[in-house]
Amino acid sequence: MAINLQKGQKIDIGLTKMSVGLGWTPNEGTGFDFDLDASAFMINGDRLIPAESYFVFYGNTDSPDGALHHTGDDPTGGNSAEGDDETIEVDLSKVESSINEILFVVTIHDATKRKQNYGQVRDSYIRIVDNSNGQEVAKYELDEDFSIETAVEFGRLYRREGKWKFEASGIGYKEDLAFFLAKYYKGQIIK
């Protein structure tokens, strides 16, 4: 049976291969399609991604160590009727030893231009699925009202004393993806 997580709750993962699924339902009649983008930042002991390639999203679908794979962009939120809108597959056995944390963030593409925010999105969640049997292990449903936020840190996998744990974060930001890149990457972004 899956664990329903609360904000800030931490659990031991106990898995090596899993899928991190993210889902949401945009409210009707907002004028534009909602393009929410799931991203993962592989963070080292200095709280930075060691290179741009450790930022995994629809434009860079695989981490250099082969531990993360983004299955692709859902530009409309239309996949959630049948399952997760976007999924990042994780193999913790392949994560480089210098990586201590994998942060999962969902941002609204062109939120400022389209005048969109999380107040116009409902039923947002992050869940962990055991890849060996397809069973949901844990789910965190984002029930907070993020009325003006345009990005949410949903959760993070982190390594402590040789074991991987998961924390349900649920932290909202009025920022875009560039904010997170500036925070976690100090190199030059290649466009």
Domains of the chain: 3-184 (2.60.60.30)
- Mean predicted confidence (pLDDT) in 164-173: 90
How far apart are the C-alpha atoms of 155 and 9, rounded to whole Å?
A: 10
Cα–Cα distance for residue pair 61/116, rounded to 1 Å: 25
Q: What is the mean pLDDT of residues 28-37?
A: 72
The pLDDT score that the predictor gives to residue 191 is 47
When pLDDT is cut at 50, 70 and 90, the band that residue 76 belongs to is: low
User: 173 pLDDT exceeds 60?
Assistant: yes
At 44 the pLDDT is 96
Report pLDDT for 189: 54
Confidence of residue 18 (pLDDT cuts 50, 70, 90): very high
**What's the whole-number mean pLDDT along residues 136-151?**
82
* pLDDT-based confidence at residue 1 (cuts at 50, 70, 90): low
pLDDT digits (tens, 9 = 90+) for 77-110: 554 455 788 999 999 999 999 999 999 998 888 8
pLDDT band at 147 (very low <50, low <70, confident <90, very high): confident
Residues 184, 98: Cα–Cα separation, whole Å = 15
Q: Minimum mean pLDDT among 89-93, 118-122, 152-156: which range?
A: 118-122
Residue 35 · residue 108 · CB < 8 Å? yes
What pLDDT, on a 0 to 100 scale, did the predictor assign at position 158? 96
Residue 30 pLDDT:
59
DSSP 95: S
Other C-beta atoms closer than 10 Å to the C-beta of 183 total: 15
Kind of pairing between the strands at 136-142 and 3-5: parallel
